[in-house]
Every structure is written in structure tokens, then in C-alpha cells.
Amino acid sequence: MDEADTALYEAALAIRNRVTDAMEQASGVPLRWRLQDAAELIIYGEPVIGLENLCSNLHEFDVPLRASEYQRIEAAGQARNVPADRWTVLSAQVTPDPE
């Protein structure tokens, strides 16, 4: 696993850890599990599929992202030559990193 994949994996886990019970109930799906699944795809050798699944779930369920997480997603996508539209749809969900 290269540096971009490691950063993406760490971002996926951080996002999953911030999902609250209320967010999961509102989504109507096991959102934490979906984000964990995406993280596992990244770490077990399927980073492109993991990235696409992560972005799809984040967008579909309007999960807020920190700027640093979005940057990690973007860097991993660029490193793997994934079309930018996979992650640019998330730009409206980005919030500043906490200080």
C-alpha cells in the first residue's frame, strides 16, 4: 500500500468514526459498515474500488468532510488516475478542519 492509499484509508476510518447514531438512522442504512467496507477494500488491494465506494456513500448520504479528508481523497484519486468527478461531487460537503 502506498502513501496515498494509506492516507485514504486513514481518512475513511476517521470519517467512519465521526458518523453518529443519528446520522446512521437518518440514512436508513448501516452507514458505518459501508464506510468500513470501503476502508477494507483500500487496505486489501482494491484502492480504486474502495475510493469509488467511499465517495459514492459520502455523497449519497451527505456525510460532512473535513478539508484535510477531502484533500486525501483527491490525492489518492489523482495517484490512481481515477476520474475527478468521483470526488469533486463531494466539494459542497467540505467543512474547515477544526483548530
pLDDT in tens, 22-46: 989 998 999 999 999 999 999 999 9
Query: How much is the mean pLDDT over the chain?
Result: 94
- Which range of residues forms the domain containing residue 47? 3-95
Identify the DSSP state of 97. P
pLDDT of 50 higher than 90:
yes
Q: Read off the pLDDT band of 2 (50, 70, 90).
A: confident
Residues 28-34: contacts with CB under 8 Å, at least 24 apart: 29/61, 31/57, 31/61, 31/63
Q: How many domains does the chain have?
A: 1
Dihedral angle at the C-alpha atoms of 80, 85, 87, 92, nearest 10 degrees? 160
Q: Per-residue pLDDT averaged across 6-34, rounded?
A: 92
* High-pLDDT (> 70) share of the chain, %: 100
